Amino acid sequence: MALMCWGGTTTTRASEDALMVTGDVVIARPACLLATLVGTVIFVVALPIAATSGSVHDTADALVKQPAAATFTRPLGDFSSLR
């Protein structure tokens, strides 16, 4: 029964997935976390200007929400949402 489950999996696809997940954990997630932290600092500095222009929501979305979503809610190995 267990062999039937492995019938549709090729070793090439499995190694590509493992490489994508490994690259995500080792490179992409730390980079996204760093982008979230740097974006938060920039957002705090730019907050008075964003409040004056009425663009706090857009600024927060670009500098904090999108990098945080890429860091914490994106499935491992899925790079499609980073575009």
Average pLDDT, rounded, for the chain: 87
* Whole-prediction pTM: 0.77
9 belongs to a structural domain: no
Q: What is the pLDDT of residue 16?
A: 79
Per-residue model confidence as pLDDT tens digits over 44-68:
999 999 999 999 999 999 999 999 9
23 belongs to a structural domain: no
What contacts 22, CB < 8 A, 6 or more positions away? none
66 belongs to a structural domain: yes
Q: What is the mean pLDDT of residues 9-36?
A: 85
In this structure, are residues 63 and 40 in contact, taking their beta carbons and an 8 Å threshold? yes
Q: What is the residue range of 58's domain?
A: 41-73
Overall number of domains in the chain = 1
62 belongs to a structural domain: yes
